[in-house]
Structure 1
Amino acid sequence: MDHPDYRRIEQAIHFLEEHATDQPSLEEVAAHIGLSPYHFQRLFKAWAGVSPKRFLQHLTVESAKRLLRDSASVLEAALDVGLSGPGRLHDLFVSVEAMTPGEYKSWGRELNLQYGYHPTPFGECLIAVTGRGICSLAFVDRETRDRALEELRHNWREASLVENPRTSEDIVGQIFAPAQKRGQKPLKVLLKGTNFQLKVWQALLKIPEGAVVTYGALADAVGHRGAHRAVGTAVGHNPIAYLIPCHRVLRSNGGIGGYRWGTTRKRAILAREAALVDKNEKTSDSRTRESFPSMP
C-alpha cells in the first residue's frame, strides 16, 4: 500500500479519537475522509485485512487493557530462553549484532550506509542498511523527511552515506510482509547503543505480534525493577521502527504512551496487529471445529 492511502487511515483514527464520546458511525467517518462507505470499507479491508468495524474494536482503551491482561506472561515466558539467544525472535527471523564500545564511540567510521525512502502500510519510511545489517528505520512524512535524514547523518556522522533505494527495497518488503509471506533469510540488524539500551531493545524483540507489555513489566524483564522512566527513554530512542517493536509497550492503565513516530501511528500499528492476530485465531478455531466435529 502506498503511503497516501495510509494518510486516510490516519485521518479516520484522528477523527475517532476526537469524537470518541459521540461514537460516530462508519458513514460519518467515511464522509470525514472524503470517501463513500463502500470505498471506505474497501480501503480498510485492503489495509487492515479486516472490516472497519472489527478494526475499530481494537482502538479502545478497554481493548488495550484486555490485551495487557492477555499478554501479562508473554514477555516473562519469552525471556526464559535468554535475552541474547540467537535464532527466531517472535515471528520474524532476526539476527542481531551489537557494535563494540569502540565502534559505538567512532560514530560509524569505516562503515558504508546505503539509504532509501519507501512506502509502507504505515506511511513512508527512511531506512539505512550496512553490510552488517539494518541500522536505522524511521517513519517520515513531508514535514519530517529532511529532518530524519539529518538525524541519520548525525547519528552516523563518520560513516559514508549514499542514497541507493534498490539496496533496501527488498528488505522493506520483507519487514512489512504478512508473516506467512516473509522470506526465510534472516533479517540482520546492527544496533548502536549503550549496554542498557541494547538490553531493552533486545527484550522488545521478544514481544510477539498481537501482544503488548507495560513499561514496568519491561523494566522488570531487563533486571531494572522500578526503572520505568529509564526504560521508557531507551524505548523512545529505538533506532529501528516496527522491526524492533517499541510500539508494543503501553502504560499500565492501557494508555497509549509515547511514540517517536506519532501516537496515531502507534494506535494504527497495534490495532492492525491485534485485528490480524484475532482474525487468524478465529480462522484457526473454525478450521479445528470443522476438522473435529462433535460426536453424536
Structure 2
Amino acid sequence: MNLMQTNMPATFHKPAALDTIAYAIGESAIGKILAARSETGVCAILIGSHGSELEQDLANRFPGKGLVEDEAALRDDLAAIARFIETPSVGLDLPLDMRHGTPFQRRVWDVLRAIPCGATITYTALARRLGQPNGARAVATACAANAIALGIPCHRVVRADGTLSGYRWGVERKRALLDKEAAL
C-alpha cells in the first residue's frame, strides 16, 4: 500500500477515512486509467499514458485529502471501466461522488450523464438545455473540470459543426471512445 500526500499511518480510524481517497491504476485500450473512490463513490476516473502523471493529477484535484493506493479495493471499478471502454453498450454503473464541482458544473455533468451511449451534443445545445444560450464556453470549462471521465461522459460533447474539440485526456482518445460508441 502506497500512501501519497498524507501524514496518516497505514491504519486509521473512521473519522480520518472521511478525508481519504483510495485509488488504483490499471490498463485499458486507450491507456492507463486511474480510478479513485471517496466514502461516497467514484470521485475520479483519469486517463493517461503514465501512472505517475495520473497520481499527480489526482493529488492536484484533491488537495488536502489522504490518497491511499488500494488496488484490491478498486479492482472491480477498474475492470468495469476497462470493460466499458471496450464495450460501451454494457454501460458504466458506478456510484459517483460529484461533490467536488461547483453547482453549475454539477448541472452540466447531470445533463452529460443523460446523453445516451452513441449520441453526441454540441456545447451550444448543452448550454441551451441549461437555460444559458450564450453559455457554450462555460459548458466547455465545466467539461474540462470533470474528474470522472466516462462516468460523466464529456467525450460526447462536440463543436457546433460536429467536429471534435479538445478533450482533457486527448482528442485521439475522444475519437476512439466515440468510434466505439458509434459502432453499437
TM-score, normalised with respect to structure 1: 0.52
1:171 to 64, 67, 77: 77
Q: 1:156 aligns with which of 51, 59, 62?
A: 62
Query: Of 4, 11, 18, which aligns to 1:110?
Result: 18
SS of residue matched to 1:189 = coil
The one-letter code matched in structure 2 to 1:188 is P
Percent sequence identity over aligned pairs: 36
- Does residue 111 of structure 2 align to residue 203 of structure 1? yes
> Hey, what's the Cα distance between the residues in 1 that align with 2:171 and 2:88?
24
Deviation at 1:227, TM superposition (A): 0.8
What is the aligned partner in structure 2 of residue 234 from structure 1?
142
Aligned residue-pair number: 165
- SS of residue matched to 1:210: coil
2:155 to 220, 244, 247: 247
Choose 1 or 2 for highest CA Rg. Answer: 1
| Distance verdict in 2 for CA 1:227–1:152, change over 3 Å | same
> Match of 1:200, SS?
helix
Query: Structure 1: where are the runs of 5+ without partners?
Result: 1-107, 278-296
Give every structure 1 segment of 4 or more consecutive aligned residues whose post-TM-superposition deviation is greater than 3 Å. Answer: 178-183
For each residue in 1:132-183, what CA deviation from the matched residue of structure 2 results, as whole angstroms up to 9, or x when unmatched? 10001111113xx323312211222222111111111101222343467569
How many angstroms apart in 1 are the aligned matches of 2:170 and 2:78? 20
Q: 5+ residue gaps in structure 2?
A: 1-15
Mapped to 2, the partners of 1:253 and 1:182 lie a distance apart of: 27
Counterpart of 1:162, as a letter, is: V
**In the alignment, what sits opposite 1:48?**
none
How far apart are the structure 1 equivalents of 2:30 and 2:129? 29
Tell me, in whole angstroms, the C-alpha distance in 2 between the residues paired with 1:270 and 1:189. Answer: 22
TM (norm. structure 2) is 0.82
Task: Specify the alignment match of 2:94 in structure 1.
Answer: 187
Q: Does 1:138 align with 2:50?
A: no
Distance, in Å, in 1 between the alignment partners of 2:90 and 2:169 is 26
C-alpha distance in 1 between matches for 2:169 and 2:89: 27
Match of 1:93 in 2: none
C-alpha contact 2:35 2:77 (8 A) present in aligned 1: no
The structure with the greater share of residues assigned to helix is 1
The answer to whether the 8 A contact 1:219-1:228 is kept is yes
Give yes or no for contact 2:20–2:67 (8 Å, CA) kept in 1. yes
Residue in 2 aligned with 1:6? Answer: none
